[in-house]
Structure 1
């Protein structure tokens, strides 16, 4: 990473800290998820950033990839994961907190387990431990709280306009001796009272550009050109496209997906319908380790 790229990543992290603090003040039981997402994304822009992906507001057994649609009426409830992203010129801060909205002792313990796992993993990273040791620490921390890590969700490396690139950081014990090199990473332990695996559920309305090949429809082409210019390879959602082009753009998104221009992410759901808590921060590995979003 060049000095300018590092500066962009650090600036994204500074905005993330303020957005996280703000989000904690507006997330309350029975507030529409649509209202929460819109306010968080507006705050990111007000502070000088752009959303790196649509705000994910996933309840209970939905581990990830729930963002409200343009007409969503779902209310905040249960064990809610608030997963947010900021970018400055494509350099990302990816961060999540979980909140208990039903005064549940078990929810609070799940949140504590994921937060402890994140804290302990970051300590291992600062000590320059291997990826295997980081995964082992996450697993042991969560299991010491009598819960299970989700084995098929991982932390990840990030690059310019790439939310997931290069290395993955497992949340479980493994034998990978590799150590983190200079770069930008997100670590995100998931703790569950379920079996510890996720499956792919229904479509989420979250997309990413897969191929800018030609498509016959002029309306779809206009939407595709906007996506390529505005989001590049970062995720976006149908809600954002409807805001720009109106409801007719939902058909354009369908055409683009069928034509192979777009990939739509599925919701990720715990296989036994166990509740899931998530904690996440972004860190920059340079001469020293900097947790940018903490």
Structure 2
């Protein structure tokens, strides 16, 4: 079971996330600055009383996850782009994680594949369901539309200041898995692709998080470390702390084992990936979708 006070924080985070994602998606238009769109969306989270759970991810075309603007980023959205907008909000460490795909081209069926896989999965949620069954349903919805699910990306449990915990929600059929229980909170996020169905790491890394506490000598690294500690291990973007010496300080913290990076994840060149995501709380007879209007799909 989940305490009522905690549930209310999850629900408030979800309400803010729903509004901010809806507005963020509406900002995605050809010619619009990606950096300005992201800044406006992250500012809106704060203005609405939430906190940023992770940098707004804007992953385009073959990129599936973990891209966000770099300092001074001059990219703009282009006609034909398939844009994944992935947004996280927290209230006192209780997270809402949600995403949708904005199609600036002609990819309606691919967008539908991930969206309907998500909706089908949500309709299955109740105590006693095993996560492998959810993965099978996600895979079926994507494959029957002629695409592949991304097998090495999954949904994930959410907890206090924790973005990736139990249960893991696969995007393909697996034997067994976790049996869902009332009060479990997690995100389901199907990815559909025209590519291989497997993502790999690119050289681009703009998102980091703290993974350990270690002594640091360099003054600039000490200052950055002090600021990062306020995130309580939640991810941040390089642009959030950018200054004349911040890249050198960031590199020092990585070498010291204080931070880890999250490379952009992508399918093969020329492929297209769509994503859809909601955060849920399992109830006695179903679930609350915290990141949907009125908590229902």
For Structure 1 versus Structure 2, the TM-score category normalised by the shorter chain is over 0.9
1:196 CA drift (Å): 0.5
Structure 1 residue runs of 4+, over 6 Å off? none
Q: Does residue 16 of structure 2 align to residue 15 of structure 1?
A: yes
State which drifts further: 84-93 or 278-287.
278-287
Q: Which runs of 5+ in 1 are unaligned?
A: none
Pick from 252, 261, 281: which aligns with 1:264? 261
Match of 1:74 in 2: 75
Please give the residue correspondences for 1:230-245 in structure 2 after superposition, counting only pairs within 5 Å. Answer: 231-242=231-242
In structure 2, the residue corresponding to 1:52 is in which secondary structure? Answer: strand
1:271 CA drift (Å): 3.5
Match of 2:215 in 1: 214
1:272 CA drift (Å): 5.5
Give me the whole-angstrom Cα distance separating, in 2, the residues matched to 1:192 and 1:39.
29
1:196 and 1:271 in contact (8 A); partners too? no
Quote the RMSD (CA, aligned, Å). 1.4
Q: Which runs of 5+ in 2 are unaligned?
A: 293-297
1:126 CA drift (Å): 4.1
Match of 1:98 in 2: 101
Q: Deviation per CA, 1:136-177, whole angstroms, max 9, x where unpaired?
A: 000000001010000000000011111101221100011115
1:212 and 1:224 in contact (8 A); partners too? no
Number of aligned residue pairs:
287
Please give the residue correspondences for 1:36-75 in structure 2 after superposition, counting only pairs within 5 Å. Answer: 36-75=37-76
1:253 CA drift (Å): 0.8
2:167 and 2:178 in contact (8 A); partners too? no
Match of 1:292 in 2: 290
TM-score, normalised to structure 2, is 0.93
Give me the whole-angstrom Cα distance separating, in 1, the residues matched to 2:85 and 2:39.
13
Please give the residue correspondences for 1:1-294 in structure 2 after superposition, counting only pairs within 5 Å. Answer: 1-77=2-78, 78-102=81-105, 104=106, 107-126=107-126, 128-176=128-176, 178-181=178-181, 182-229=183-230, 231-242=231-242, 246-271=243-268, 273-287=270-284, 288-294=286-292
1:128 CA drift (Å): 4.9
1:7 CA drift (Å): 1.3
Give me the whole-angstrom Cα distance separating, in 2, the residues matched to 1:24 and 1:272.
24
Give me the whole-angstrom Cα distance separating, in 2, the residues matched to 1:129 and 1:272.
37
